[in-house]
Amino acid sequence: MIYPKQFSSGSQRLAVTRAGRRQFLQFSAALASTVLLSNCQQNQSQDPAQSTETQSVSPPANSEPLHIYTWADYSDDEVYKRFTDNTGIEVIADVYDANETMLAKLQAGGGNQYSILYPSDYMVKQMIELKLLSEIDQTRLTGMDQLLDKWKSPPYDPNNAHSVPISWGTTGFIYNKKVLTTPPTDWNSLWEQREALAGQITLLDDVREVMGAALKSLGYSYNSTNPQEIEAAYNKLRELKPAIQSFQSFGWEDPLIAGDITLSMTYSILGNALVADNPDLDYVIPSSGTSVWTDTMVIPTSAPNVEAAYAWINFMLEPENSAFAVERLKFATPNQAVVDLLPSELTQNTELFPTSELLAKCEGIAPVDEAIEIYDRYWTQLKSV
């Protein structure tokens, strides 16, 4: 299998990967807080993957709780229990719905309790510039040499000086096969089938992703800074507007499963997880290309429990532990040793691990400098009409 050439990407995302987690967020999206205690009941049935083959991580001297601030994609009680069983460290995890939400909380001083954050690649670069991230002491980590080449010194963080990549994925769309009988294959499918999809589409509430998709459909770069190309993308989205029910990054899952909406723009980690649980759904990566994102683990400069933070990163770098998380949460890993442990139904799933030919057509979301004002102006107009 061949993996991506190069990407630097990302934008806001809330991915709720299983029915239970989706239900959880409906009840608590405002607070988005999960507390997982170290004294989990020992009589719970143990997953076969949690065998004695799991290598333990030496508990740090400071055994105070580890507070993690992460995407809902990666918040999983069984993964946290596995860490606690190995280290004796309690995990307290809060989840956020956007990189910008996490950053704002950190800058406002409300994130000082967190020792691990999960920013996307473009946000890592921004947080480095804001001096919010600690430098990673590579001598305290084991397994960084197992990363695939494109993540060993990524453009958003040369030499992984401040971050450790944990997952990557694509942006595409998920649709209900019982409602839409003609499978969409590319971004242009939205326009070609817009009459059948009238009022039945949700797009991400994200200017760069939505405008980027329209740019890609016109044969332009996701990261165009050409005013004429950006205007053309806006005009094309205006054509699609009657088919768009709403712009929302989450909250569309149950209506899609029920058939109340037909198609939603989403991220692969949620797209693949929902498909696994709901056979009437299918996730599609547009054939002309899309955006590719990477999520990371970082230690903020305000981290109160650095020892536990390194224990967590080493835990997630351990192939058996990471493979356990991948199988539960259905995300693509940048770690070759983890890939080697995954079952073929995952590694051969081209919606999870796209082909090199398709990835060659993809881009990461990159800064567009002053052109962002043009994007924002058209985005405001699009959402107001």
CA distance 248 to 260: 15
282 neighbors 183 (Cβ within 8 angstroms): yes
Would you tell me how many other CB atoms lie within 10 Å of the CB of residue 35? 12
Do 37 and 85 sit in the same domain of this protein? yes
Give 350-362 as a DSSP string.
TTTS--HHHHTT-
| pLDDT per position as a tens digit, 256-266 | 999 999 999 99
Do 159 and 192 sit in the same domain of this protein? no
Angle at Cα 302 formed by Cα 300 and Cα 304, nearest 5°?
A: 105
Do 359 and 288 sit in the same domain of this protein? yes
Do 195 and 148 sit in the same domain of this protein? no
pLDDT given for residue 39 in this prediction: 38
Domain membership flag for residue 56: yes
Q: In this predicted model, which residue has the larger pLDDT, 54 or 156? A: 156
pLDDT given for residue 218 in this prediction: 97
Supply the range of the domain harboring residue 237.
Answer: 169-292+354-384
Residues 109-137, mean pLDDT to the nearest whole number = 94
Domain membership flag for residue 4: no
pLDDT at 36 over 80: no
pLDDT given for residue 60 in this prediction: 54
Measuring CA to CA, which residue among 307, 340, 347, 323 is closest to residue 54? Answer: 323
- Tell me the pLDDT band of 53, cut-offs 50, 70 and 90: very low
Residues 332-339, mean pLDDT to the nearest whole number = 96
Do 104 and 233 sit in the same domain of this protein? no
Residues 167-191, mean pLDDT to the nearest whole number = 95
Domain membership flag for residue 3: no
pLDDT given for residue 58 in this prediction: 55
Residues 52-65, mean pLDDT to the nearest whole number = 58
| pLDDT per position as a tens digit, 87-99 | 999 999 999 877 8
Cβ-based neighbours of 158, under 8 Å, separated by 6 or more: none
Do 257 and 362 sit in the same domain of this protein? yes
178 burial type by CB count under 10 A (0-12 exposed, 13-18 middle, 19+ buried): exposed
Angle at Cα 328 formed by Cα 146 and Cα 86, nearest 5°?
A: 65
Tell me what the pLDDT averaged over the chain comes to: 85
pLDDT given for residue 9 in this prediction: 38
CATH number at residue 206: 3.40.190.10
Amino acid at site 247: F
pLDDT given for residue 205 in this prediction: 87
Cβ-based neighbours of 138, under 8 Å, separated by 6 or more: 144, 160
Do 152 and 301 sit in the same domain of this protein? yes
Indicate the SS3 state at residue 195.
coil
CA distance 334 to 336: 6
Instruction: Give CB contacts under 8 A, 24+ apart, made by 218-224.
Output: 219/288, 221/363, 222/290, 222/291, 222/363, 222/365, 223/363, 223/365, 223/366, 223/368, 224/368, 224/371
* Among the ranges given (25-34, 264-273, 363-372), the one the predictor scored with the smallest mean pLDDT: 25-34
Domain membership flag for residue 89: yes
Domain membership flag for residue 288: yes
pLDDT at 43 over 90: no
Domain membership flag for residue 1: no
CA distance 196 to 216: 22
278, two tokens: 């709901």
Cβ-based neighbours of 99, under 8 Å, separated by 6 or more: 10, 11, 12, 13, 119, 120, 122, 123
Do 230 and 188 sit in the same domain of this protein? yes
In the chain, how many domains are there? 2
b or e along 181-191 (b: 16 or more beta carbons within 10 Å of the residue's beta carbon)? eeebebbbbbb
CA distance 210 to 216: 10
43 burial type by CB count under 10 A (0-12 exposed, 13-18 middle, 19+ buried): exposed
CA distance 368 to 280: 38
pLDDT at 23 over 70: no
Measuring CA to CA, which residue among 206, 137, 161, 174 is closest to residue 279? Answer: 174
Residues 293-301, mean pLDDT to the nearest whole number = 96
Domain membership flag for residue 6: no
- Tell me the pLDDT band of 74, cut-offs 50, 70 and 90: confident
pLDDT at 38 over 50: no
Residue located via tokens 């740090």: 60
Do 158 and 243 sit in the same domain of this protein? no
34 neighbors 95 (Cβ within 8 angstroms): yes
pLDDT given for residue 72 in this prediction: 80
Do 137 and 25 sit in the same domain of this protein? yes
CA distance 148 to 336: 6
pLDDT at 32 over 70: no
Do 246 and 330 sit in the same domain of this protein? no
Residues 124-143, mean pLDDT to the nearest whole number = 95
Domain membership flag for residue 9: no
Do 27 and 161 sit in the same domain of this protein? yes
216: left (phi over 0), alpha (psi -120 to 50) or beta: alpha
Residue located via tokens 């004002």: 373
Cβ-based neighbours of 319, under 8 Å, separated by 6 or more: 143, 146, 335, 337, 338, 340, 341
* Among the ranges given (77-86, 97-106, 112-121, 263-272), the one the predictor scored with the smallest mean pLDDT: 97-106
- Tell me the pLDDT band of 54, cut-offs 50, 70 and 90: very low
